[in-house]
A and B are shown apart, each in its own frame.
Chain A
């Protein structure tokens, strides 16, 4: 009986340790610190091009994650990508004239949405739309604009750099 008890205890300890290890891996190692299912509100933004943005990508303000991308769809009438942003309920005073841009984290990192606050007194609420957006910068577009813009015109050297610079900026100007 005594022997049995020792076996039971160590079996229980083993299973407990295993479950604890699984929990550790799920909560400490992987990124689940921000669940979009929590309390919060949804905001919509329309982009001409979302690039490599994925569902679950962070939404950041001043570098702080305030929400996640909860859905990406395509509107057949507007020919635009509709991105649903799930913002945490704590951040409920974002001016409604803020603009949303798609950035890339680091050189090779994933893409995320950065929100720059505007000056309005009216705040974004559930279902409201971010009016000012800035599309994802597609590297190929930049390169092709730079290359072909220069190759076709071949203006004097000073002008060429201007041309290239403005070409590089074109996709970066806010759509709408």
Chain B
């Protein structure tokens, strides 16, 4: 009986959080037009969320590409069609791996930074102070960070995929000796423009989700050291799960 009650209250908590987050998103979207008038603030956050994530995204992308080159070649060599390596790798990276891995890395690198920064502002009463000075912290602090993340994610996804394909090419062409022309022309003849847009749409959707979760958790963090830590942890966990669930939904819609 207590178990059932626990499950029910857990579901209630989940629904309450989901509802609060939706309302939070609504508020953010409502003030977005006003926020866009201050591109300076957004650009700073594009730097924080995007430019600072570049190193981790590019390194990870390169190694994901290298591994895909090795594994893909091993798989395709068994069926005897190594030339399809470029096609297979490009499609996998564009449609699935690129956006998902980028989102997971983004949540780990930029999401946690956002959540802890805003959480710390909450814990040190900076947000309250702003409120007293009649500066809306939603407009001044939260919205630019959210938009910065949303702008950065598709760009990071594209960079990730580009670097990975370079990595695949490195293994396939330089190491295994697949013909360079065949590698690229096979890829080009099978990959459609819609595959590229699918990847970018996913990047955008994950960007909205991860940025929203990060700023929401930070803004609603308990104003203690422990609370900020918890908010940061929850940002990573919720972002990762949300990314994978959304990935299924977006794929089902777009396919």
Give A contacts to B, CB under 8 Å.
7-8, 10-11, 13-15, 17-19, 21-22, 24-26, 28-33
Contact = CB atoms under 8 A, between A and B. Distances in A.
A25 B54 contact: no
A33 B43 contact: no
A11 B41 CA distance: 12
Q: Top 9 nearest A-B pairs by Cβ distance?
A: A18-B155, A21-B158, A14-B51, A11-B47, A21-B162, A22-B158, A21-B159, A30-B191, A10-B51
A8 B42 CA distance: 12
Contacts of A11: 43-44, 46-47, 50-51
A25 B162 contact: yes
Contacts of B44: 7, 11
A33 B188 contact: yes
Interface in B130-161: 152, 154-156, 158-159, 161
A13 B187 contact: no
A29 B51 contact: no
B188 A7 contact: no
Contacts, number: 76
A29 B154 contact: no
Interface in B173-212: 184, 187-193, 195-196, 199-200
B90 interface: yes
A31 to B, nearest CB: 5
Given A19-B155, A22-B200, A29 B187 contact: yes
B43 A31 contact: no
A19 B155 CA distance: 7
A15 B51 CA distance: 8
Contacts of B51: 10-11, 13-14
